[in-house]
A = this chain, B = another copy of it.
């Protein structure tokens, strides 16, 4: 049943369905032109309704960041799932239970210790757990560096030990830090080249490597050639956010998520407007702090989603947001009386969405659906 945005209690999370559909279509079209399938990362949405729009079909493929996601999406019928955070040995019983229920669940790892544990668990359960070895393509976080002989060592432990060595995976997380089309094109090629090089290294050692998995929202959009890659992962592209805008991956009108808030006060001599959305709503992500334009805790828009010039949430307490003009703004503070509704665009869609248990789906300023989302592990 449709209702007006004005009837919602604040703060709450709005999802602009049209923008989301455009974001999904844009990436699918680009990857289609390169001939590589998408394995969408479902950690951004954590919603089966969002997942169904992202996946090629009802059973996947999909990427997740927690076993809770794997379990929730499996319960909704997804069958091809990659759990893309380095496996902790104590989590293997849950992995095996999901696999036993019929889910083709794969894990990732980057150390001999983890490989031994996965191989041992595979043997004990008589179920070869599929594994992608994580590659470090840009010094971002985890993974084995291309050329490191550790790769073949880990591959051998898995392949000889009873696991299924399925391939390699990398994530160009460093691409979030560099703005501009050229930087993203270079990052995408670096990501591809590292993964393909490692796949070759395994194959030359007579080890299998069927899957070469790469991805991040910037590199997925800016890849010009994906030769040797078998799948691309991306997550935040579905909603986009101010961090992605700040590095040139989207425009402000592409951002599909916003937090609806109500003005509850003013400190006029300080140029402050208070709203009832603090960090419990926006999250404390300050991902734009290191970018050319610092958006504080978010960009403030009117009820139609149009940004007020230079108005940002400059401070966030638990349930209070403080709106003000950015430093050196030319605009004047808008007159927003107590009770005014505003929409605030997030720095980071994943972290702002994580603060809520549902999406209010909006089409042309009408609320057309409520979609549950989950969190936890």
Contact = CB atoms under 8 A, between A and B. Distances in A.
A312 interface: no
A331 to B, nearest CB: 23
Interface stretch (A186-194, A203-211, A218-226, A317-325): A317-325
Interface stretch (A15-23, A24-32, A245-253, A263-271): A263-271
A283 B91 CA distance: 22
A87 B280 contact: no
A342 to B, nearest CB: 12
A279 B9 contact: no
B262 A65 contact: no
Contacts of A322: 141
Contact of A262 (B11, B88, B136, B337): B88
B284 A338 contact: no
A10 B67 CA distance: 11
Interface in A325-377: 337-339, 350-351, 354, 356-357, 375-377
Given A111-B265, A276-B85, A9 B142 contact: no
A138 interface: no
A277 to B, nearest CB: 9
A338 B65 contact: no
Contacts of A339: 88-90, 113, 117
Is chain A's interface secondary structure helix, strand, loop, or mixed overall?
A: loop
A173 interface: yes
Contacts of A12: 377
A285 to B, nearest CB: 5
A66 interface: yes
Interface residues of A, number: 55
A286 interface: yes
Closest 10 CB pairs of A and B: A284-B284, A86-B264, A113-B338, A88-B262, A65-B319, A85-B319, A86-B265, A88-B264, A89-B339, A284-B285
Interface of A: 9-12, 43, 65-66, 85-91, 94, 109-111, 113-114, 117, 136, 141-142, 173, 262-267, 274, 276, 279-280, 283-286, 317-320, 322, 337-339, 350-351, 354, 356-357, 375-377
Given A85-B320, A113-B339, 20 more contacts: A10-B88, A10-B90, A43-B319, A66-B319, A85-B264, A86-B264, A87-B264, A88-B262, A88-B338, A88-B339, A90-B339, A109-B265, A110-B265, A111-B265, A141-B317, A142-B267, A284-B286, A356-B376, A357-B375, A357-B376
30 contacts: A9-B91, A10-B88, A10-B90, A43-B318, A85-B264, A86-B264, A88-B263, A88-B264, A89-B339, A90-B262, A109-B265, A111-B265, A111-B338, A113-B337, A113-B338, A113-B339, A114-B264, A114-B338, A136-B267, A141-B274, A141-B317, A142-B274, A279-B285, A280-B354, A280-B375, A283-B284, A284-B285, A284-B286, A356-B376, A357-B375
